[in-house]
């Protein structure tokens, strides 16, 4: 089995769209009236969810009628949100076939299938033309990609000159043994973490100009604290959440992630860059 297949298998659910649809009655919703906000807890698979998405996107100067690229789009939650918020077209690409298949159905439920295009494929070899996109972002993607030099070179290729590119990834803060499993990996062999310094070097080598960097450790720990309080108050997770994606492994993966962040071995980090 190739590394790409191993990564895709890690995220495989088996019947994800049925699991999401089955949770809708508990929200008082159907496929006819479910909203982007209803789906956000399950289809924005990164630390901080919609809050983190907003914080990153607010820094990228997107505007109406642009064509934006979502690298490693997962179920396409951020793609749909950006398309709705900016009245733009968003194309997402992700390695996991089930995520893309599910995401297309969710886009249809929300009436956004004309504004969001989801493609299955590798971010290292994207089926897009040179200088095609007005901007791009990736949310918790680089942790599964070892060759970040090729990743950033490929993103640079498909962006128009002057386009902004935002990254929100889990990055290494210091050496030390991580607890596994975590949301992106069951063991060290499929975890491809890099430090912010390594990210910035590879971005610079790919001819991106780096504007800003934000360590979001405090935000992450506060997010998980509030999530725990809310979960305990409600007697368990909401009908739709990251537990829907990760199933029975969710509690252990999230617990280990929090410990690894608390010990400052890793942290979610934003980097804002621009194609020169």
Provide the pLDDT for residue 1: 85
Provide the pLDDT for residue 50: 95
Sign (positive/negative) of CA torsion 46, 50, 56, 57?
A: positive
Show the DSSP H helices in the chain as ranges: 3-11, 16-23, 36-43, 49-57, 77-86, 97-109, 148-158, 196-205, 217-234, 242-246, 250-262
Rounded Cα–Cα distance for residues 192 and 187 (Å): 11
Contact (CB, 8 A) for 103 and 75: yes
Residue 148 CA neighbour count, 13 Å, CB half: 22
What is the chain's Cα-based Rg?
A: 18
What is the bridge-based pairing of β-strands 89-94 and 116-120? parallel
The residue segments making up the domain with residue 112 are 3-275
Average pLDDT over every residue of 103-123:
98
Contact (CB, 8 A) for 272 and 199: no
Provide the pLDDT for residue 89: 97
What residue has token string 């999230």? 254
> Chain-wide mean pLDDT for the chain?
96
Tens-digit pLDDT profile for residues 50-63: 999 999 999 998 99
Residue 132's pLDDT band, with cuts at 50, 70 and 90, is: very high
Average pLDDT over every residue of 9-19:
94
Contact (CB, 8 A) for 21 and 246: no
Nearest CA-CA partner of 142 in 203, 216, 57: 203
Average pLDDT over every residue of 164-187:
97
Contact (CB, 8 A) for 61 and 164: yes
User: Which pTM was predicted?
Assistant: 0.96
Residue 263's pLDDT band, with cuts at 50, 70 and 90, is: very high
What residue has token string 């490929």? 154
Residue 8's pLDDT band, with cuts at 50, 70 and 90, is: very high
| CATH number of the domain to which 215 belongs | 3.40.50.150
Residue 236's pLDDT band, with cuts at 50, 70 and 90, is: confident
Rounded Cα–Cα distance for residues 259 and 207 (Å): 35
Domains contained in the chain, number: 1
Provide the pLDDT for residue 134: 98
Tens-digit pLDDT profile for residues 181-215: 999 999 999 999 999 999 999 999 999 999 999 99
Provide the pLDDT for residue 237: 87
Rounded Cα–Cα distance for residues 135 and 133 (Å): 6
């Amino acid at each position: 089995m190739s590394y790409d297949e191993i990564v895709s298998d890690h995220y495989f659910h088996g019947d994800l769209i049925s699991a999401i649809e089955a949770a809708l009655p508990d929200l008082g919703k159907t496929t006819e009236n479910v909203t982007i906000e209803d789906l956000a807890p399950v289809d924005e698979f990164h630390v901080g969810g919609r809050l983190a998405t907003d914080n990153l996107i607010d820094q990228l100067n997107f505007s109406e009628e642009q064509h934006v690229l979502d690298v490693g789009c997962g179920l396409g939650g951020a793609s749909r949100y950006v398309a709705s918020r900016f009245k733009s077209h968003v194309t997402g690409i992700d390695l996991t076939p089930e995520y893309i298949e599910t995401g297309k159905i969710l886009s249809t439920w929300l009436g956004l299938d004309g504004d969001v295009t989801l493609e299955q494929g590798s971010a290292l070899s994207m089926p897009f033309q040179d200088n095609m996109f007005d901007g791009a972002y990736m949310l918790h993607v680089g942790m599964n990609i070892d060759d970040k030099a090729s990743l950033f070179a490929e993103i640079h290729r498909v962006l128009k000159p002057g386009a902004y590119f935002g990254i929100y990834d889990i990055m290494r803060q210091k050496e030390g043994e991580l607890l596994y499993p975590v949301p992106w990996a069951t063991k060290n062999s499929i975890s491809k973490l890099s430090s912010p310094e390594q990210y910035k070097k590879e971005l610079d080598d790919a001819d991106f100009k780096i504007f800003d960097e934000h360590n979001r450790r405090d935000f992450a720990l506060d997010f998980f604290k509030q999530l725990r309080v809310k979960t305990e108050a409600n007697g368990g997770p909401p009908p739709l959440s990251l537990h829907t994606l990760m199933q029975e492994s969710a509690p252990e993966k999230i617990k280990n992630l929090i410990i690894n962040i608390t010990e400052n071995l890793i942290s979610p980090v934003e980097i804002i860059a621009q194609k020169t």
